[in-house]
Structure 1
Amino acid sequence: MTSAKGSTARISATASTLLIIDIQTRLFPVIANSQALADNSLWLQQVARRLAVPVLLTEQYSQGLGQTIASLREGHAPSAIIEKLHFSAVSEGELLNRPGGEREQFVVCGSEAHVCVLQTVLDLLALGRQVFVVEEAIGSRKPSDKNLALARMQQAGAVIVSREMVAFEWLEHAGTDLFRAISLEFLR
């Protein structure tokens, strides 16, 4: 890995954490393509779990926006869920202290792309972390805001990826029982 910002780095299952930002019950219905956002984030979460990649969830002011949607929240220990008031998940001071927060790489999905996702990504990059933003697993109310956020994150040094890019880089090679199981279940 030659770049602090991750431009030439591959995503490693042993060096990365999946960060799911603010996919919450009251905000979810107004996000453009919200079901695709949820489905792709769940897919990533399930692959991460199979490969022992830590998963952290954030919730922006859950009293007002609700908790993380049930499909993504299910099975998580309270220590994996970070309540926040700042838009950036880094600003609260909790993210990096949770299990998985110490890792060098963050694979990021969630909403809204141009607010909480963007500010979190910028802060992680400023701390020297490698950040990979999963294009089909982030969303905003307006597609134009998502597009602007993707461009800005990429300009800042984040790497824009697809969910399959993440899965194949986590897996590293074929020919193992784990690869065959994940391939059958997730990569058909």
Structure 2
Amino acid sequence: MNRLPRLDRAKACVLVVDVQEKLTPVMWNFAPVEKYCRAMILAGRDLGLPVLATEQYPKGLGATIPSLREALGAAPLIKMNFSCGADPEFMRALEATGRRQVIMVGIESHVCVFQTARDLLERGYEVFICADAVTSRFEEHRRVALDQLAAMGAVVTSAETCIFDLLHACGTPEFKRVSPLVR
């Protein structure tokens, strides 16, 4: 039996990839993706996880969308490589967190999310892809990327699954604060 890794607050961080103003209008089924990206950011921050974000060539693709920029509370890292893993500044920031589990959300599934996840897997990170918080221009591109990432060893899951896995139990102050994010 294949055992999937268990999320651990002491080991996990959140990575928000390139959810930018000029990209989002052409993304497939973007409204729920935005909701779950925001939920993952806010839950991560509330639960003490480092939250990193990137922007791909913002001069051409615009800034991170306002709803996520507000939730992040910190400026995204700027990159030119499709893979965050190919960007030295990003890798220094990720390594500085000391975390080896990366919960990924963002766009596009088959380009920047895909290449980043592949590079992180090759470096020994445990990668969790929130399928409800990633998308591409076309649903088929998203589906193929998720299938390939699962075959490579990424855990294809959902933001809600990640959030409740990190919470562990109901009835806590954290649960009361975080659970409304996914309702």
Trace 1:20-169 onto structure 2 (pairs within 5 A): 20-74=16-70, 75-78=72-75, 81-98=76-93, 101-169=97-165
Q: Which amino acid aligns with 1:47?
A: A
1: CA distance, partners of 2:9 / 2:91: 17
Please say which of residues 94-103 and 64-73 is displaced more in the overlay: 94-103
Within 1, Cα distance between the matches of 2:182 and 2:105? 19
Deviation, structure 1 residue 187 = 4.8
Residue pair 2:103, 2:127 contacting (<8 A) in 1 also: yes
**Deviation string for 1:52-103 (max 9, x for gaps)?**
111111101111000110111125223xx11111100110112232266431
CA RMSD of aligned residues (A): 1.7
Q: Bigger CA drift: 112-121 or 159-168?
A: 159-168
- Closer, same or farther: CA 187–115 of 1 in aligned 2, 3 Å: closer
Higher helix share: 2
Moved more, 166-175 or 37-46: 166-175
Q: What SS does the aligned partner of 2:103 have? A: strand
2:4 touches 2:155 (CA, 8 Å); kept in 1? no
Aligned to 1:12: 8
* SS of structure 2 residue aligned to 1:94: helix
State the distance in 1 between where 2:156 and 2:41 align.
18
Query: Is this contact kept in 2: 1:59–1:67, CA < 8 A?
Result: yes
Answer whether contact 1:95 1:101 (CA < 8 A) is retained: no
- The answer to whether the Cα contact below 8 Å between 1:140 and 1:146 also exists between their aligned partners in 2 is yes
Unaligned runs of 5+ in 2: none
C-alpha distance in 2, partners of 1:101/1:177? 25
TM-score, length of structure 2 as denominator length? 0.92
Q: Which structure 1 segments of 5+ residues have no match?
A: none
**For residues 138 and 127 of structure 1, what CA distance do their matches in structure 2 show?**
22
Q: Are the equivalent residues in 2 in contact too, given 1:135–1:162 (CA < 8 A)? A: yes
CA distance in 2, matches of 1:101, 1:27: 28
Per-residue CA deviations over 1:4-60 (Å, capped at 9, x if unaligned) read xxx521111221111010110001100011122111101111111111111111101
